[in-house]
Amino acid sequence: MEPALFVELVDCFKDRYSVSLICQCMGVPRATYYRWRRKDFTKTELEKQVLAICQQLKFRVGHRTVKGLLKNEGIKVDRKTVQKIMRKYNSQCRVKPKQAQKMKGESHLVVPNLLEQQFKADAPNQKWVTDITYLPFGERMLYLSTILDLYNNEVIAYKISDTQNAQLVLDTLALACRKRNTAGTTLHSDQGAQYTSRAFQVATKENGIITSMSRKGNCFDNAVIESFHSSLKSEEFATLERVSLTNAIVQQKVEDYMYYYNYIRPFQKLNCHSPIEYRTMAA
């Protein structure tokens, strides 16, 4: 029982029922009620600021990120204090399910693995990663193809389709190439049939892109975009597992999340700036 809510409940009904009866019905000792009543449940200014950040970002960030955002605003506070406040008001971020164990990949490669899990880039358009994920939330299965820039984790291009074929990744690639200078860019993917297709390999070469592929069956070679797709599902759809959605709503929710991710979501590795904010500041 939340102490502040119980005190408020007693205040609402104490004119009609005795305090002892209310406490007995709710299973709260009478002495505990009076102890709670003496407490001050007014939120401090810091608690209000922490909760405002959590609500603004839809409870999608952890206490370290909240601490970093407060620091950007000139507020110095200990990480554990922020964590304590978030626990007190049940404002922790949603946690993504973790892999039980690391999968062992095979040595056979379709094209060389040039990335080799080196996910850091010194400038935009040096290293891109791409993948396709399932969106099983609507009337029928949808597929999301995404290209991410490892410099600032920015979503450069994405496409949604009800067919998982080479055209889906070609459309995503074409959109990314219209936005960026791709000469010398390394584009990393898994060994899916869409990426090993002749049409995709030709399209990348025509745009001056060097392709790289994960080891077969090893998702950790493409961990950044795997994590991104997992975040999209857990943060945008986790609370809607039993809700019936149309495909149009699913697509709109993906679009909303992409905007939030690029323009609003703060990242610790980007000094608590959003991807586009970080790239703009660096430029």
Amino acid present at 231: S
Query: What's the CA gap between 89 and 93, in Å, rounded?
Result: 12
What is the structure's pLDDT at 10? 87
pTM of this prediction? 0.69
Q: Which positions of the chain have pLDDT values less than 50?
A: 100-109
What is the structure's pLDDT at 47? 87
Q: Specify whether the CB–CB gap between 178 and 171 falls below 8 A.
A: no
Query: What's the CA gap between 283 and 278, in Å, rounded?
Result: 9
Q: Specify whether the CB–CB gap between 152 and 123 falls below 8 A.
A: no
Q: What is the DSSP letter of 145?
A: E
Task: Report in angstroms the alpha-carbon separations of 78 from 66, 83, 89, 208.
Answer: 11, 9, 17, 48
Query: What's the CA gap between 139 and 144, in Å, rounded?
Result: 15
What is the structure's pLDDT at 34? 87
What is the structure's pLDDT at 97? 57
Q: Which residue has the tokens 């922490």?
A: 50
What is the structure's pLDDT at 108? 41
Query: What's the CA gap between 42 and 37, in Å, rounded?
Result: 12
